Structure 1
Amino acid sequence: MSMKIQLAEFSRLHFPRPPATPEQITAFEARVGWKLDADLRAFYLHSDGGTLFEEEPDASYRILPLAEIRRARVAIMGRDDDPYGAPSQYTVVDMQDTNYVILDVAQQAGGSYPLFDAWHETYPVAKRIASSFAEFLERAMASDGFSYWLDG
Structure 2
Amino acid sequence: MPTNMQRLLTEISQHHFPNPPATPAQVAAFEARVGWTLDEDLRAFYLHCDGAALFKPWPDTNFWILPLAQVRRGRVAIQGRDEDANGPPDWYALVDLQDTDFVLVDVAQRTGPYPMRDGYHGTFPDPGHTKIIAPSFGTFLEKALASGDDFFWLD
Match of 2:147 in 1: 143
Matches of 1:98 and 1:107 in 2, distance apart?
25
**What letter is aligned with 1:103?**
V
Matches of 1:68 and 1:15 in 2, distance apart?
17
Match of 2:115 in 1: 114
Match of 2:87 in 1: 85
TM-score by length of 1: 0.96
Match of 2:44 in 1: 42
Once the two structures are superposed, residues 76-121 of structure 1 have per-residue CA deviations (whole angstroms, 9 ceiling, x without a partner) of: 0011111110001101000012100001111457x30000011001
Match of 2:138 in 1: 134
**What letter is aligned with 2:103?**
V
* Contact 1:60 1:94 (C-alpha < 8 Å) held by counterparts: yes
TM-score by length of 2: 0.94
Aligned length: 150
Structure 2, unpaired ranges of 5+:
none
- Runs of 4+ with deviation above 4 angstroms: none
* Contact 1:107 1:114 (C-alpha < 8 Å) held by counterparts: no
* Contact 1:104 1:113 (C-alpha < 8 Å) held by counterparts: yes
RMSD: 1.1
